[in-house]
Homo-oligomer: A and B are copies of this chain.
Amino acid sequence: MRIGELSRRTGVPVPTIKYYVREGLLPAGELSSPNQASYGPGHERRLRLIRALLEVGGLSLAAIGEVLSAVDDKEQPVHKLLGVVANRLVPGGAGEEDEETDLAREEVARLIEARGWNTSASSPAGEALAGALAALARVGHADFASVLDVYADAAERVAAADLAYVGRRGAAREGMVESVVVGTVLGDAMLASLRRLAQTDASSRTYGRS
């Protein structure tokens, strides 16, 4: 197809497509005549992936470049590829260096070991969890961490459903990455709003008459 049709099918304007090609995010089309390039389904899929990373994942073009390199590096096993993506989608780390953060990091390491999770406390997600626990301690709510196990149980169930979804969407590397981005970012939003709805319900049952 010509660049105009690629633009129409993906909703990405022609100048933007040309920009992605110049930046090396999208392979150039195949020259069918000296001044006309032809694009195929691979270009369309790649464009949709870029859009998902950009609009849904909120990634910078530099970060998108990194993710795409991992997608294209077929030596990179799927698990490592999904790890690159997941780590790109974690906002901020622990942020501060204080006693609360040190204690929180130890707590994260203990949790990961107790659960037998094959992951590391020093990963971006581990650091983000330590950051949240340290922030709780700083506002005098360290004991909110008592709910950590319930949260971790819930996270395990949700993650299993996420992975099953990624598997159902098929085994193409680009499709998997897109599913992970979309599911991770929009899944967070879904989970947060469901938690509010369930809290409202639980609160009305507990305090409805007070």
Enumerate chain A interface residues (CB-CB to B < 8 A). 48, 51-52, 55-56, 77-79, 82-83, 86, 89-90, 112, 115, 117-119, 123-126, 128-129, 131-133, 135-136, 139-141, 143-144, 146-148, 150-165, 167-168, 178-179, 182-184, 186-210
Contacts and interface: CB of A to CB of B under 8 A. Distances in A.
Copies of the chain in the assembly = 2
Given A148-B190, A193-B132, A210-B78, A163 B199 contact: yes
A194 B119 contact: no
Given A79-B203, A151-B158, A155-B194, 10 more contacts: A79-B204, A79-B210, A82-B203, A86-B196, A119-B197, A119-B200, A132-B189, A144-B183, A152-B194, A163-B202
A132 B203 contact: no
A131 B189 CA distance: 9
Contacts of A195: 155, 158-159, 162, 184, 187-188, 191
A153 B163 contact: no
Nearest to A83: B200
A208 to B, nearest CB: 5
A159 B165 CA distance: 24
Given A201-B117, A207-B82, A186 B132 contact: yes
Contacts of A203: 78-79, 82-83, 86, 163
A-B CB proximity, top 8 nearest? A125-B196, A159-B198, A155-B194, A154-B154, A129-B193, A132-B189, A150-B161, A117-B201
B158 A208 contact: no
A86 B123 contact: no
Nearest to A152: B194
Contact of A79 (B126, B186, B207): B207
